[in-house]
Amino acid sequence: MLMKKGILLVLLCVFVQVVKAQVQTIEIASLDTIAEKDFLLIDVRTPEEFAEGHIPGAINIDVKNEDFTEKIATISKEEAVYLYCKSGGRSTKATTILSSLGYENITNLSGGFEAWKTDDKIYMKDL
C-alpha cells in the first residue's frame, strides 16, 4: 500500500510539473508577427547547420550535443524560449527536455528553418 502511495505521489508531481509548463507550437512563418518581442530564439541544429544559415538573433545550442542540458541551464526558467531546427523534429525533442527541466514558457516553431527559407524570410550565414 505504501508503494502505491509513493508511486501516486511521484505521478502527481510529474503531472503538476507538466501542467505548470506552458508549451505551445506555432508556425515558424508567423515568428516575425509575434507580439511578444522579449524572447530567446534558440536554433537546436548542429553548429555546421547553423553556420549554413539561421534566423537573425538566434543562438545555437545543439540538442544532440551532450552538453545541451548544461547550456540550457544557464537560461532563466521564466524566460520565453522559442525553439527551431531544420524541420521540427529536434525542436520537439528540445521542447520536451525544457519542459521536463521546469521551463515555463516554451514555443516550438513548427516547420523549422526549411519552412523559414521557403517563405522567403531573411536569414544569415556565417562566413
Q: What is the pLDDT of residue 19?
A: 46
Of the candidate ranges 32-46, 78-92, 107-121, the one whose mean pLDDT is the lowest:
32-46
Tell me if residue 80 falls in helix, strand or coil: coil
85 is catalytic: yes
C-alpha cell at 63: 540538442
Residues 54, 88: Cα–Cα separation, whole Å? 14
pTM of the predicted protein model: 0.80
86 vs 120, residue with greater confidence: 86
Which is the catalytic residue, given 85, 98, 106, 109? 85
CATH 3.40.50.720 for the 21-118 domain, yes or no: no
Q: Is the pLDDT of residue 13 over 60?
A: no
42 burial type by CB count under 10 A (0-12 exposed, 13-18 middle, 19+ buried): buried
87 pLDDT band (50/70/90 cuts)?
Answer: very high
